Amino acid sequence: MEYDVKMKNRVKRIEGQLRGILRMMEEEKDCKDIITQLSATRSAIDRTIGVIVSSNLIHCVRNAEEHGDHQTEEIVKEAVNLLVKSR
Per-residue pLDDT at 66:
78
Question: SS3 of 7, please?
Answer: helix
C-alpha distance from residue 63 to each of 68, 70, 76 (Å): 9, 10, 13
Query: What is the number of domains present in the chain?
Result: 1
CATH of residue 52's domain is 1.20.58.1000
Per-residue pLDDT at 40:
97
Per-residue pLDDT at 71:
76
Alpha helix ranges (H) inside the chain: 5-26, 31-66, 72-86
C-alpha count within 13 angstroms, C-beta hemisphere, residue 69: 12
Question: How does pLDDT run across 28-87, given as a tens digit for each residue?
Answer: 999 999 999 999 999 999 999 888 888 888 777 777 777 777 777 787 888 888 777 777
Per-residue pLDDT at 2:
82
Per-residue pLDDT at 55:
84
Per-residue pLDDT at 41:
97
By residue range, what is the domain housing residue 37? Answer: 5-86
Query: What is the C-alpha end-to-end distance of the chain, expressed in Å?
Result: 22
Per-residue pLDDT at 7:
92
